[in-house]
Each structure stands twice: as C-alpha cells, then as structure tokens.
Chains A and B, each alone.
Chain A
Amino acid sequence: MFALLRDRKVRGILFQLLTVIGLVAFLWYIGTNTVHNIEQRGIQTGFGFLNGTAGFAINDTPIAYNETYTHGRVFLVGLLNTLIISFVVIILSSLLGLIIGVLRLSNNWLIAKLSSAYIDLFRNIPILLQILFWYNVVLATLPSPRKSIEFFGSIFINNRGFYVPKPALNSTTISMIVAVFLAIIIIFFLNRWSNKRHENTGEEFPVLLTGIGLIIGLPIIAYFIGGADMNPSYPVLKGFNFRGGKTFYPEFLALAFALTIYTATFIAEAVRSGIEAVSKGQKEAAASIGLSGYQALKLVVLPQAIRIAIPPTINQYLNIVKNSSLATAIGYPELVTVFAGTSLNQVGQAIEIISMTMLVYLVVSLAVSALLNWINFKMKIKER
C-alpha cells in the first residue's frame, strides 16, 4: 500500500482524483445551497421562463420578433446579433489591420507616421468611450428623416439609420447567391490548379483577374437566368420614419465602426511584429532573385509574417466577441443587452440567464480556439 504511494505515477493520479472529487463536492455544495436560498426567497427557478412572453420590443432583429414572442426568442435574437456584429467586425478589422500594419512599415515617412499615430491614439482610449463617442457623433451629425441625405431616390441616410433597398428572396436573388458561392468554389480550385502549374512549368495564370471576373460575371448571368427581377422593397418616408427596405441602425453602425477602429490597431500591431520578425535576409534574398517589392511582400514576407501574426489576431477576434457586449451602452440589442439585461430584469432569474449567457461566450471562445489550433496546424512551415 505505502509502496504504491511512493510511486510517482500513482501518487499523481491519486492527487488528481482527490482534486476532482473536492471540486465536484464544492460545486455540488454551492449548487444545492443556492437553489435552497433562492427558493427560500421566493425567486422562481428553472427554465420555464424561456416560454414566457417577453412583452418588450427589440429594435434590430435579424429574425421575426415582436413583443408577443418569448424570452427564448429574445435569447436567439440576442445571440444572432452578437454573432452578426462580431462577424462584421472581424472581417473589417482584419482588412483594416492588415493594411495599417503594412503601411506602418512603409518607407514613406508620412504614411508610416500617420499609421503609427492612428495606432497609438485608438489603442489607448478605452473602447467604451470610443463607442459612446462615435455613436453620439453619428447621431449629432446626421440629419433628421425629413432632411435625409439621398442617393438615386432609393438610398437614404439620416439619424435613424442607413436605408437601402432590400431585394426580395425570389428565384433571381437565390440564383445570384448560388452564383457567388459557385464563383468562390471555382476560384479556390482555379488557384490550386494554377499554383501547381506554376510549380511545374513556371507559367503564370492571371488568377486575380479571372477571379474578379467570375465573382462579378457569374451573378450577372444568374440574374438573367433567374428571371431578371429582384423585386426589391424600397425605403419610403411615411409619417415619422422610413418604412420598407433594409435598415442599418445607428447603434449597429457606430458599434461596428468603433470596434473595428479599435481592434484594427491591435491587429495592425500583430501584422507589423509578424513582418518585422521575418529576417532581413529573406527580403534581400527575394530581391536578389529579382522579385519586385510587392512580389517580395506577397510571396515571401507575408506568408511567413502571417504565421506569426495569426495567434494574436485570433485573440483579438475573441476580444471582439466579448467587447461587443459593451453595446449595452448604446442599446444595440445583442445578447448581453437584451437577454442578460432586459429579460433578466423582467424575470429576475439571474442564475439561469447568466449561466446561459456565459455558456454562449464559452462555446464561442472554445470554437475560436479550436479554429486557431487548426489554422496553426495547417500553417506550420512544412519541412520538405
């Protein structure tokens, strides 16, 4: 028995086992204690509230919703809005961050200085302040609905939002969407094929130009095949506000803008440090085999730099998801605002609601980490 305990492996397992048992016991104690206390205080428990009528409106809903829907639906609306804002900001801040990161190292003194000034400024102002600032600036500078800025009689900008025509979901639009996906798939395989051919024969194929042609051309063809009628609903001023069309609300725009501007600074820094980490020798070698500055950047420097820049960038993606919850300040209806905020206030079931909310963030975080690991694995420099 004691001899067994002297074995390091056995001892290790034993201690791990004890820790797990202790943890489970602790959680169980907290759990039962909490439920007991809550019931004593006459606070409702359980998830029945998810079927209860919410009773309040939400202004920006990607799926059908009105005040007669349930709190469960509120959860869904909030979740979708969190995902939408995060997705949009991830795309925009990646693009902006990449550009600024490269410009920051430009040989042009002015461009380099401007880029670094931008980074220093926006990285150091608390994001909440930035959100409030942009939001109130947006509201203050845009005109009222009756004095909207107007384009082609069908696009309107005012302090209630950005209104555009919204195509109906019919055969035309569906074929166009399919065409876009088709184009992407074709480009993917085209790129593969051209790379192989380039390796084997040294011949270049204009992938970029063909790609742009496909992305634009295929949907146009699809437009005519699908019946050439998008049957859009146009925004029109009726009474106080515009109705019809698609609205991008000021809350969404300000939040997306603020988060993009802020997060791009971190991504730019990640890109910059990635580029700087690529040894000078590589750039010189690229130049010596006759690559232009742009070619060297695209073919030699960026592929290596990106490997270094990806982990910190994905960390920023996680921060975007979390920071999107700061939307409560300006009332963009994402998960924390409507579900962990308004619903919680109506039904008072903090434990259930906060657990669900935390679970969402946990799942998103784990998913993004898994993605990161996968990308890291894929992007590892392959030894040949």
Chain B
Amino acid sequence: MKSKIAKISMAAIAVIGLSASVANADTLSDTKAQGYLKCGINSGLPGFASADSKGHWTGIDIEVCRAVAAAVLGDSTKVKFTSLNAKERFTALQSGEIDLLSRNTTWTETRDASLGLNFAGVNFYDGQGFMVHKSLGVKSAKELDGAAVCVQSGTTTELNLADYFRKNGMKYKLVAYDANDQVVKGYESGRCDVITSDSSQLYSLRIKLKNPSGSAVLPEIISKEPLGPVVRQGDDKWFNIVKWSYNAMVAAEEAGITSKNVDSMLKSNNPTVKRILGVEGKLGANLGLSKDFAYNIIKQVGNYGEVFDKTVGMNSPLKIKRGLNALWTKGGLQYSPPFR
C-alpha cells in the first residue's frame, strides 16, 4: 500500500505548499534566517552536478548555487542541495521546496511566462544532439527515419525531438524514461538505436557507457538550449540577487579578477574593479546584500572562466571548448550588463 502513487502524493504536497505559503515572499530574509540556501540540482550529470565518493558536489550548476550562497550568506558552503529529475524540478521550485533551481534547465517562453518562473541568466549555451551505436553505420541525423530514440521525459529534448522528426518528414519510436540512468540502460541494452540530449551531456554520457568507443555523436545540433538558473516569479529582490550573483562571475572574468588575485585587486585603481568588489559605490546595498558580495563570490567560487575550466572545460574530463560560452569580447555570448 505504501507504494501507491508516491508521485501523486508528492505533487499533492506541492499543491498544499502552494496553497499554504504566504503571498508576499521574501526569500532573502527567509534564506538568511535559516542560514542556508535551498538549491535544486541534477542528481548526477558530470560537469554540471555530480557528487564524489565523499558526497562533495561539483559542477558548473553547483557553482551557481555556491555563488548565490556566498553573496547572500557570505559562505559558499551554506547550501542544501536537493537533487531533482526533469519532471520534478518546476514543482519543487513553485512549491518552495527549493529557492533556486540550477539544473541544466533550458530557458523557454512557456517556462518563463506560464509556469510562474523567472530565468536569471544563461550559465551555459547548449544545443541538442544525437548519439548512436556505431554498428548502425549512421553518419547523420537525417538517416534516422524509423529509429527508436531514448530520451528523458519532461525535457525540452523530448519536444525538440518531436519537432525535428516532424520537420524532416521522418518517423521515430519514442522511448522515454524519467530517470537518466534508465535512459542510459535503455540505450546500452539496445531498446533504442539513438540517445538524444543536450550535446554537452552526450559526451559525459558516452564516458559513462561500458563501451564508449562503440558509440558516436552525430554532427547535427538541432536546437538552442540556453541553460540557466531559475527562481520563482513574484520576488523581484531575490530574482535580482541571483541575476547579479551570476553577472558578478562574468564581470569578474572580463575585468580580470580571479579567485587568486582578488585580494590584491582590492587595491586596484580601475573604477570598474572597485565597484565590482564593493570598494566604491553601494551596489551591494542596492540588492540588499553586503558591499563585498561579489568579492565573496569571486574569492570563494571564482570567476566564470575559472568555474568553466574546472567543471566542464579544459581542466575537466569533459574538455568542452568555450565556444558560445566565451566572453563577448572573445567571440562568445557571455556578457554581463555593467556594474554601475
């Protein structure tokens, strides 16, 4: 009996959460009062969010949680992580189980405008790709007519897949699972011919396979997947805090501030650096934070480039190039509005 519709009861609790929680939200005070940030993350996606044997989380999405904790609480370790699958994530945020969702979530119009959510930036520009068993001899996604495709349900991936095959007049057999592990198992056991996901993840999925060289990633990228942190609608102050915590990391990279040199940078006479680090001006106070909020982020978490390199970039097993995620000054899309 205890197994009956565990899912429904969870959602029902979320519904009750919606009905009970107060309308005038003040997430900042709540977070300060409880002393930690409630952050929703992926349960295991190398480079984005994964836990080592000691339960220590790493990944580019994790660092966003840490940055907000550093900005709000002055301590990047004060985060309570909640791992969520794709289907659970929005309900968890809407119901207040978490206050920040940083789980490779694509920014779309529907999610932004009708789910009661706000996207606070893009910490990774991604796109959707395919991986196939090499034995099939498929070289392009256009040859996939009639294939069985494994996908995680509750994702934009599932929707793009439908669009792509429809657009190209091809048919496919959908095999959709809630859990990523089962998606991989389905692919490995041959339940499907193809696996599709955000392309950054295909490479980490491939590493996880029993026989990585038996699979190949196809060249097509079929969608835009701007992934970023999400907050609830209706608390603008909190929205601003998350937005500018993230911007601080990007602005720091642009201004050449790193976790190593941040202390000496305090003495810099560059006005931009002075404002970012709170030596001059009252940018922190505008957000309801201390004036050194960005200093805390950079010192404890690092700037965007540092975080990228160690989680998904060249200093990580994934070795993803900066590409679209380079600073705008280097031909990429990462761009922070000015700190002034």
Contacts and interface: CB of A to CB of B under 8 A. Distances in A.
A341 B87 contact: yes
Interface string A331-366: 101001100111011111011001001100100000
A33 interface: yes
A36 B94 contact: no
**Secondary structure of the B contact surface, majority rule:** mixed
Interface residues of B, number: 59
B191 A250 contact: yes
A67 interface: yes
B23 A159 contact: no
B176 A322 contact: no
Contacts of A42: 113-114, 116, 233-234
B339 to A, nearest CB: 29
A91 B312 CA distance: 52
Interface in B161-194: 161-163, 166, 172-179, 182, 185-186, 189-191, 193
Contact of A350 (B15, B154, B161, B234): B15
Interface residues of A, number: 61
B330 to A, nearest CB: 36
A48 B172 CA distance: 29
A219 B21 CA distance: 63
Given A38-B18, A160-B148, A323 B189 contact: no
Interface stretch (B4-12, B36-44, B221-229, B243-251): B4-12
Contact of B147 (A36, A37, A241, A341): A241
From B4, B111, B189, B233, name the one whose CB has the most chain A CB atoms within 10 angstroms.
B189
Nearest to B144: A240
B90 A345 contact: yes
A8 interface: no
Contact of A326 (B3, B154, B182): B3
A238 to B, nearest CB: 6
Contact of A30 (B19, B21, B23, B185): B19
B306 interface: no
A44 B113 CA distance: 9
B114 A348 contact: yes
Contacts of B166: 67-68
Given A43-B115, A59-B174, A331-B153, A342 B158 contact: yes
Interface in A206-263: 238-241, 243, 250
A43 B94 contact: yes
Contacts of A22: none
A355 to B, nearest CB: 8
Contacts of B5: 322, 325, 336, 361
A38 B175 contact: no
B189 A136 contact: yes
Interface in B261-276: none
A291 interface: no
B172 A329 contact: no
A348 B173 contact: no
B136 A240 contact: yes
B86 A345 contact: yes
Contact of B116 (A30, A41, A68, A160): A41
Given A250-B191, A342-B153, A350-B15, A160 B173 contact: yes
A318 B232 CA distance: 38
Contacts of A241: 146-148, 173
B145 interface: yes
Contacts of A357: 8
Nearest to A239: B146
A44 B115 CA distance: 7
Interface of B: 1, 3-5, 7-8, 11-12, 14-15, 18-21, 23, 86-87, 90-91, 94-95, 110-111, 113-116, 136, 144-148, 153-154, 158-159, 161-163, 166, 172-179, 182, 185-186, 189-191, 193, 232-234
20 contacts: A37-B23, A40-B23, A43-B94, A43-B114, A55-B163, A56-B159, A56-B176, A59-B176, A136-B185, A136-B189, A139-B189, A159-B191, A241-B173, A325-B4, A331-B182, A342-B153, A345-B86, A350-B14, A354-B11, A358-B8
Closest 10 CB pairs of A and B: A43-B116, A34-B19, A348-B115, A345-B154, A41-B116, A139-B189, A67-B162, A322-B4, A57-B174, A239-B146
Interface of A: 30-31, 33-34, 36-38, 40-44, 55-59, 67-68, 126-128, 132, 136, 139-140, 144, 159-160, 238-241, 243, 250, 319, 322-323, 325-326, 328-331, 333, 336-337, 340-342, 344-348, 350-351, 354, 357-358, 361
